[in-house]
């Protein structure tokens, strides 16, 4: 009897949950070995600025993956919201707040539109979001054909400032911490439960009383909202707009979600995992640049990392299914 319980306990243990954190710690240790004394609180605080833009879309992509979808439009939404904010951001504080809220709302509506056309017209998520990516990317080019625009210094300074009364934490680090906390509650929310149910068995979720259509639209709306926030952050950090600012985020957001350990098969996802995945991708890029690897080869390595991670996760799912069959009564 005890042996059976032990087998069940071992079969329920999912090592994939901890892999992103192990990899992240190893990468940080490697960077510190290459440059002793590099890794400290100030370094982590600065790194958060580059992590947060990718972490936001990585979380959105994680949720979309969990319902069996894909959101390629995040790249176009980032391009457009970045250019929109760079061109129209006013000097006044009320104006900055209004434009910032407008950008986030626009991203949310763009995501909701993705979800609506996918569920109402039974479109393939890949094709639908590829089309909307093209729309938003084209709209970004209409605003700015080349890099340009400028935002008020006060707007940029707010997003890169440090709060001394909070231990010197930067806005980006505070947002990452807030996302981790929000993720814990989100997973236990009705939408979080619906997401896991839909990913595991969509028909079962429907017959179980879950509004699958509305849940999917909400997920895509959240993904769009986070992409809009990422575009806004990018505007503040670069102090300008670029019509190609979000194109790299398509691959990187997918990699962040997969490396973060999300799996519709096991029903596991976490905001913290997606953040760890984003941090890993950023640190790997930094390591390759410091090693003298060209930007072209960096893209090659990023693609290879994504493929390897998908294969490893797939093999892990296969092994878990085999273990379940072994422990289940015949």
pLDDT in tens, 247-262: 999 999 999 999 998 9
* Cβ atoms within 10 Å of 210's Cβ, excluding its own: 19
Task: Flag whether 61 is in a domain.
Answer: yes
First vs last C-alpha separation in the chain: 16
Q: Which of 133-142, 152-161, 227-236, 308-317 has the lowest mean pLDDT?
A: 308-317
Q: Indicate yes or no: pTM above 0.85.
A: yes
Which of 216, 227, 232 lies closest to 98, judged by CA? 232
CA–CA separation, 178 and 52 (whole Å): 11
Q: What is the pLDDT of residue 70?
A: 96
State the chain's maximal CA–CA distance in angstroms. Answer: 71
Buried b (16+ CB within 10 A) or exposed e, 146-162: eeebebbeebbeebeee
% of the chain at pLDDT higher than 70: 94
Q: Note down the domain range covering 105.
A: 49-313
The domain that holds 83 is classified in CATH as 1.10.3470
Confidence of residue 2 (pLDDT cuts 50, 70, 90): very low
143 Ramachandran zone, left/alpha/beta (phi>0; psi -120 to 50)? alpha
Q: What is the pLDDT of residue 6?
A: 46
Q: What is the pLDDT of residue 329?
A: 59
For residue 19, pLDDT over 60 is answered with yes
Q: What is the pLDDT of residue 151?
A: 92
Q: What is the pLDDT of residue 293?
A: 85
Q: What is the pLDDT of residue 1?
A: 45
CA–CA separation, 57 and 179 (whole Å): 12
Task: Flag whether 26 is in a domain.
Answer: no
Task: Flag whether 322 is in a domain.
Answer: no
Count the residues in the chain: 330
Which of 255, 320, 308 lies closest to 65, judged by CA? 255
Q: Indicate the number of domains in the chain.
A: 1
Q: What is the pLDDT of residue 265?
A: 78
> How many CA within 13 A on the CB side of residue 210?
24
Q: What is the pLDDT of residue 233?
A: 96
Contact 107, 81 (CB under 8 A): yes
Task: Flag whether 166 is in a domain.
Answer: yes
Q: What is the mean pLDDT of residues 221-236?
A: 98
Work out the angle at residue 300's Cα, subtended by the Cα atoms of residues 313 and 127, and round it to the nearest 5 degrees: 65
> How many CA within 13 A on the CB side of residue 216?
25
CA–CA separation, 219 and 315 (whole Å): 27
Highest mean pLDDT pick, 93-97, 292-296, 310-314: 93-97
Task: Flag whether 36 is in a domain.
Answer: no
CA–CA separation, 50 and 282 (whole Å): 7
The torsion defined by the Cα of 155, 174, 61 and 291, in degrees rounded to 10, comes to 90
Q: What is the DSSP letter of 170?
A: E
Task: Flag whether 253 is in a domain.
Answer: yes
Task: Locate 186 and state its tokens.
Answer: 């989100």
* Cβ atoms within 10 Å of 206's Cβ, excluding its own: 14
Q: What is the pLDDT of residue 267?
A: 84
Confidence of residue 7 (pLDDT cuts 50, 70, 90): very low
Task: Flag whether 43 is in a domain.
Answer: no
Q: State the DSSP H helix or E strand holding residue 19, giving kind and residue range, or none if neither.
A: helix 19-34
Q: What is the mean pLDDT of residues 220-230?
A: 99
Q: What is the mean pLDDT of residues 314-320?
A: 78
Task: Flag whether 1 is in a domain.
Answer: no
For residue 324, pLDDT over 90 is answered with no
CB-based contacts of 52: which residues, under 8 Å, 6+ apart?
172, 175, 176, 230, 233
């Amino acid at each position: 009897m005890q042996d059976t319980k032990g087998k069940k306990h071992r079969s329920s243990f999912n090592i994939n949950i901890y892999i992103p954190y192990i990899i992240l710690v190893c990468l940080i240790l490697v960077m510190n070995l290459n440059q002793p004394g590099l890794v400290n609180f100030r370094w982590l605080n600065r790194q958060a600025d580059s992590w947060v833009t990718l972490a936001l879309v990585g979380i959105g992509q994680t949720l979309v993956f969990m319902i069996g979808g894909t959101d390629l439009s995040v790249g176009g939404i980032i391009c457009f919201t970045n250019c929109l904010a760079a061109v129209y951001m006013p000097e006044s504080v009320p104006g900055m707040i209004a434009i910032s809220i407008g950008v986030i709302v626009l991203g949310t509506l763009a995501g909701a539109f993705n979800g609506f056309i996918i569920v109402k017209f039974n479109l393939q998520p890949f094709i639908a979001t590829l089309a909307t990516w093209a729309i938003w990317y084209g709209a970004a080019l209409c605003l700015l054909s080349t890099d340009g625009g400028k935002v008020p210094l006060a707007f940029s300074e707010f997003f890169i400032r440090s709060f001394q009364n909070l231990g010197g934490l930067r806005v980006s680090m505070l947002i990452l911490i807030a996302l981790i906390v929000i993720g814990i509650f989100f997973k236990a929310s009705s939408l979080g439960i619906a997401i896991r149910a839909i990913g595991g068995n969509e028909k079962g979720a429907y017959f179980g009383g879950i509004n699958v259509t509305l849940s999917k639209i909400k997920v895509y709306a959240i993904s769009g909202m986070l992409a809009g926030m990422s575009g806004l952050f990018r505007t503040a950090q670069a102090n300008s707009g670029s019509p190609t600012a979000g194109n790299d985020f398509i691959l990187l957001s997918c990699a962040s979600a997969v490396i973060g350990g999300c799996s519709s098969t096991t029903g596991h996802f976490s905001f913290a995992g997606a953040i760890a995945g984003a941090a890993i991708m950023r640190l790997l890029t930094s390591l390759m640049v410091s090693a003298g690897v060209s930007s072209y080869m960096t893209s090659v390595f990023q693609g290879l990392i994504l493929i390897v991670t998908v294969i490893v996760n797939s093999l892990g799912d296969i092994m878990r299914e085999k273990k379940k069959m072994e422990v289940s009564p015949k």
